[in-house]
Structure 1
Amino acid sequence: MAEGREQLGIRTLFLSEHPDAAPPRVYVKGQVVTVLRFEQAVDPARTRLVGGDGRFETVGVLGRKVVLEPRRDLDPDEGFSLLVALVDGPQLPFLLRPPNPRGRGSADQQLNVFKDRESYDAMVSALVDSEKENQTLRAENERLHKEESSEDHALAALLTAEAESQTPFKVVEHFSGRDDDAALEGTVFRGKGKAAVVFRVKNLHAVRSWSMKSVRLVGTSDSRERAIAVRSSAAVIEPGTSGVIGLVVDGSAFLEEGTLTSLRLEMYRQDGFVQAIVRLDPSLLGK
């Protein structure tokens, strides 16, 4: 069960019995459906979204489920109140917030809400969440163990620390660009059987933090993803500050059925948009 939910934003929420407890948070994202699933039927006449007119699609109530969908991403400082009324029960308040890249970085796709921690369904849901978390931790430990002995990750760490002189890489070219959120300076390096790229990112946004969501390295002709070593100076770059991201590509990534091919490096920021695309030519593989 946990394996089937590995990539889904499903979590268990137990409601507090304390009368002064803060409303539990539900993390929502633009054009992503979030479903709150309760133990009993929901009263649609008394369930409502406060202050979200025009920002959300019409709130849906289907039996024991409440369906939410923001029309666009919420700003970092925005929050909306959702009041869910169970049939023959009180209204339950929830606070709708955008995902936090420094904490929970993804939206809730399904939230299983329980008042009784001891019920069978509550214990099963909590057990599945626990197993999913354990699997994630095991995978992360395995990844970190592999990276500890990885030459490419060690080189990426040196580049991130701006210690190029301690690596076999030589500068090939510089490039730069900017948008409303970030200014980026890039450097492409040639190495001995390897290539590397360093991004220096400055967060230009007044209040929103910047972070790298993912990196993809693909062939320009086959779009098959290749392995790449990545290191960054900070997980999150706060407004007005800068960070460095170092990436190292082994020469084997340039091979496609025994023939050298060009690659395309794509870096995605926290909101899923592409921040940079860099073409890497096989000529970067120095001898």
Structure 2
Amino acid sequence: MLRRAHARGAGRSHPLSGRLTRDMRNFLPLRSTLLLVLMAPVAMARGRDPNVWSAYVRGRPDEWVRRLNVTPEAVTVLRFQQPCDREGTKILGWEGRFEPVECAGKKVLVEPLQALDPEDRFLMVVKLADGTEVPFTLMRATKKEGEWPDQQVNVFIEPDTHESLQKDLEETRKREEALSEVVERRYREDTADHALAKLLVTGDIKQTALVQREKWVLKGRSARIVARVYGGKTKAAVLFTVTNRDPSKPWSLAEARLRAMRPGEDQSPPFLFGEARPFALRADCDEIAPGETGSIAVVVDRNAFHTETGLVKTLALEIYRQDGLLDTHVVLDRRLLRE
């Protein structure tokens, strides 16, 4: 006899359906203006890890002002080779939008009081102890590549020093590694399952052989999530439709995990010890603005149920949002697959 899953306000579960819980728990941080000649920002790692890069000041005055992507969720730190001048360092028109800009020795701290609007631009000038003025334009940070929040910027006024050259070499190596990861990831994602996930996330379900088995609705404090569970001859899939209910903060996917469940294992998340299984994922946007809706599709091949220890009956799919919290999970039964 098949066990049925229940969720408050969701109705009765289909015996072949996935399971969606309401559990949202924490799973586990000179006097002239100089041209900035810059290296591209270096993402230290994926997800929520710091975005650290270096700026090298060269060239004619007023030729280019470097932009900084800032967010109220993190303090942006500028590090210089000499102390800054507190009186001469300022943001123009900052009142009510930023904390007062702080000079702490060789560091400058920038913190918005609220998320900036997409069209917002604020000019900040950092004055150093020798009279050098370095300009920046403060803009809204997003999850898009090239617009990630800048958490630390190392500014070199003398770009040919040993320290700056060493830093340049380190960042060049990191950029090469990051580009290699991008190429490898795109190669891995050039699969039929990723193409199928793309059809789901764009609403072209009729172009697939998948059949919807169940639909669940989760209403949390930060998001309303609708999960549609699909079955097919050799595939199972879940389409998450996420509506951001937070009045000010964007919602984004930090990580999705798929693990094999052991017989008799408690079906409450998080699932820590099961064998990680492969899946394909596609999303229609990098982040979901307050009040907006986005989609995430996950496709699982029947081979994912074949582990090193043998065939398993169920797989646990977990969805973690940008702050590291587990937003929801779905338990996929092997009987979703029509042989």
1:36 counterpart = 2:78: yes
Structure 1 unmatched runs, 5+: none
Which residue number corresponds to residue 67 of structure 1? 109
Residue 231, structure 1, aligned to residue 271, structure 2? no
Q: 1:116 aligns with which of 149, 158, 162?
A: 158
Identity %: 30
How big is each residue's C-alpha offset from its partner over 1:70-92, in whole Å with a ceiling of 9 and x where there is no partner? 34332322333322111121332
Correspondence for 2:213 among 172, 195, 198: 172
Where is the helix percentage greater, Structure 1 or Structure 2?
1
TM-score, L = length of structure 1: 0.74
Name the structure 1 match of 2:336.
Answer: 285
- Distance in 1 of aligned mates of 2:326 and 2:119: 23
Shift of 1:32: 0.9
1:218-272 deviation per Cα after TM superposition (whole angstroms, max 9, x unaligned): 563525675431124566889999876432134536989876456344264xx76
Tell me what 2:194 maps to: 153
In structure 2, the residue matched to 1:248 is 299
Number of the residue aligned with 1:189: 230
SS in 1 for 2:158: coil
2:163 is paired with a residue whose SS is helix
Could you tell me how far apart the structure 2 residues matched to 1:202 and 1:57 are? 31
Relative distance call for 1:97 and 1:278 in structure 2 (3 A) is same
How far the C-alpha of 1:134 sits from its partner, in A, is: 0.7
Q: Does 1:88 align with 2:88?
A: no
Q: Using a 3 Å threshold, how does the CA distance of structure 1 residues 136 and 253 change in structure 2: closer, same or farther?
A: farther
TM-score (norm 2): 0.64
What residue is the counterpart of 2:120 in the other structure? 78
Q: Is the 8 A contact 2:314 2:331 kept in 1?
A: no
Q: Deviations over 1:130-188 (max 9, x none)?
A: 2111101111111222222x443243234345454554421113457899x99976532
User: Does the residue aligned with 2:237 lie in a helix, a strand or coil?
Assistant: strand
Per-residue CA deviation, residues 66-119 of structure 1 (Å, 9 max, x unaligned), is: 122334332322333322111121332222212244442421111011233333
What letter is aligned with 1:114?
F
Q: Larger deviation: 29-38 or 223-232?
A: 223-232
In 2, Cα distance between the equivalents of 1:221 and 1:62?
41
Counterpart code for 2:164: A
Aligned equivalent of 1:216: 256
After superposition, the Cα gap between the structure-2 partners of 1:157 and 1:4, relative to the gap in structure 1 and judged at 3 Å, is closer
Question: Structure 2 regions of 5+ residues with no counterpart?
Answer: 1-41, 260-268
Counterpart residue identity of residue 196, structure 1: A
Note the C-alpha offset of 1:127: 2.0
RMSD value over aligned CA atoms?
A: 4.2
Aligned ranges for residues 250-269 of structure 1 at < 5 Å? Answer: 250=301, 252=304, 260-261=313-314, 263-266=316-319, 268=321
What is the DSSP-based 3-state SS (H/G/I as helix, E as strand, rest coil) of the residue aligned with 2:187? helix
Whose radius of gyration is greater, 1 or 2?
2
Of the two structures, which has the highest relative contact order with CA contacts closer than 8 Å and spacing of 6 or more? 2
